[in-house]
A and B are shown apart, each in its own frame.
Chain A
Amino acid sequence: MDEAIVEVKGVGKTYDNGVEALRDVNLAFPKGRLSTLLGPSGCGKTTLLKIIAGLLPSNAGEVWVKGRKVEGPGPERAFVFQDFALLPWADVLRNVAFGLELRGVARPEREKVARNYIEEVGLKGFEHRHPSQLSGGMRQRVGLARALTVDADIILMDEPFSSVDEQTRRKFQEDLLDLLRHHQKTVIFVTHSIEEAAYLSDQIALLSPRPGTVSKIVRPAVDHSRSPDEIRRDRGYLDTVDEIWSILRKYV
């Protein structure tokens, strides 16, 4: 297996209200790969992602990113939010450039970078639309473009397709695979969809609920260089879906 870029060591999290969300989670995320955190709702997968992002403190254990201990958010990690988290009063261009704006990059420069990624995610021509004028799928493309502009090595995605309809979702998944392969990003992806996990991932960490802990790590034998339709009929893909379901059904 490849070198780990993110390491989670013995992480535990108990919320102020006494709910234990995570207990002794140990995981390594390989560099340049797409890893998924998969589990039923309430298994703490979003909590774990936010701890890796540095947005939430853990109560136990530590997270290491590129050999450094995580104390908070950092420039090598970018987050894609489930509810998009776009500024409703700003247009697509400003939203995509917002990460760079916060870093103090001058306007002409950050807009140049932003335009480039707006084109890459397929939103060329929508630069001056506002989020309210976009569909859910397009809004999430804005969220993805914003994460790409800051040129982080690691992209953290929190159920990015959960509020996107099925057709858009498939197209978006395919585009995502293309983009990430092209940019050599490490992706940590939270989802509750078994098919999505099996289709996208190089590594799937299955989390059991309450308290969330890693119950199994699955590495789908899926050749991502093949076409999407071939993958969806692939033996390895179908076996992975069955294997995951046989584990997860115990928790439902």
Chain B
Amino acid sequence: MRGWQLASFGLFFGLWELAGRWPISAAFPPFSTTFLALLEMLRDGSLGKAYLITAQPLLLGVALCGLAGIAFGIGMGLSRTVEWLSLPIFIILQAAPMAAIIPLLTYMYGIGLTSKVLAVIMLAAPVIVMNSYKGIRNTPPSLLQMCRSFQGSRRQEVVKIVLPHAAALIFTGLRLGLAMGFIGIVIAELLITPTGIGDLITYHSSVADYPKMFATIASIVAVAAISLHLLERLERRLFPSG
């Protein structure tokens, strides 16, 4: 990490500390108190336990999207019929207000794991599908013509040109899908039933333990930011020309 990035973090945490000590509100703890609360929760294991619970629907949802979503996106990219049938669904899903739709899931699928996985899928699927679809569709026409001019078969065209070309965009879709999945799982755990991270936030807010509540929220931001950053670095290593 570069110096100016550290300085930027330092400035942010400093302002947070000042704002907490002012204080803006009794419910807004300074950075130092929040940080100590975070260490406390790491030590007593409550944070780790919460993440284990939250990770299940998140990873399950993103993995399902990864398999089915990529397959779907590739199908849409390769076949006009599949595109015609399904493109509208994903365009609508991308624009729909998810926080309003997620409570509907509880009516249909109850308050268990299924609803939460579905919440993650509804947020993550559109970006994963659309990226795969665009990756396939944006294959340069001259590469396809080149393949045909050397009498390549349709199968060779897909395997040797279309899919490798789309790989970088598909991976980007997965990364953005995970980012959306983080949003989905937090909304689901707050709106459906408080479990995992959502439970920690709800509980600490109900007993007015604001440092722990903020520490939980900050930890989600940190976990999401770090995992997405690592994926982005992996992406740059796998697809250097980008």
Contacts and interface: CB of A to CB of B under 8 A. Distances in A.
Interface string A55-76: 1000000000000000011110
B211 to A, nearest CB: 50
B142 A73 contact: no
Contacts of B152: 102
Interface stretch (B50-58, B156-164, B219-227): B156-164
Interface residues on B, range: 10 to 19
Contacts of A83: 140, 142
A150 to B, nearest CB: 7
Nearest to A75: B151
A85 B151 contact: no
A83 B140 CA distance: 10
B161 A73 contact: no
Say whether chain A's binding surface is mostly helix, strand, loop, or mixed: loop
A130 B142 contact: no
B149 A87 contact: no
Interface in A162-190: none
A42 interface: no
Given A55-B145, A81-B145, A102-B156, A89 B241 contact: yes
B164 A89 contact: yes
B230 interface: no
B164 A102 contact: no
B143 interface: yes
B150 A99 contact: yes
B147 interface: yes
Nearest to A84: B142
Contacts of A85: 140, 142-143, 145-146
B233 interface: no
Interface string A79-119: 10111010111000000001101110000000000000000
A83 B146 CA distance: 11
A222 B102 CA distance: 78
B241 to A, nearest CB: 5
Nearest to B156: A102
Interface string B124-157: 0000000000000000101101111111100010
A33 B190 CA distance: 76
A73 B148 contact: yes
A145 to B, nearest CB: 13
A53 interface: yes
A132 interface: yes
Contacts of B142: 81-83, 85
Contacts of B151: 73-75, 102-103
A43 interface: no
Given A83-B142, A85-B143, A55 B148 contact: yes
A197 interface: no
Interface in B86-122: none
Given A81-B145, A150-B150, A102 B241 contact: no
Given A83-B142, A89-B241, A132-B241, A53 B149 contact: yes
A78 B151 CA distance: 10
Contacts of A89: 164-165, 239, 241
Interface in B54-80: none
A218 to B, nearest CB: 28
A81 B150 contact: no
Contacts of A73: 148-151
Contacts of A72: 148
Contacts of B239: 89
Nearest to B153: A102
Nearest to B168: A89
Interface in B225-242: 239, 241
A73 B156 CA distance: 15
A55 B149 contact: yes
A128 B145 CA distance: 24
Given A50-B145, A88-B241, A102-B156, 14 more contacts: A53-B149, A54-B149, A55-B149, A73-B149, A74-B151, A81-B145, A85-B143, A87-B143, A89-B164, A89-B239, A89-B241, A98-B150, A98-B160, A103-B150
9 contacts: A55-B149, A74-B151, A81-B146, A83-B140, A85-B140, A85-B142, A87-B143, A98-B160, A102-B160
**8 interchain residue pairs of minimum CB distance:** A85-B146, A79-B149, A99-B150, A102-B152, A85-B142, A102-B150, A73-B149, A83-B142
Interface of B: 140, 142-143, 145-152, 156, 160-161, 164-165, 239, 241
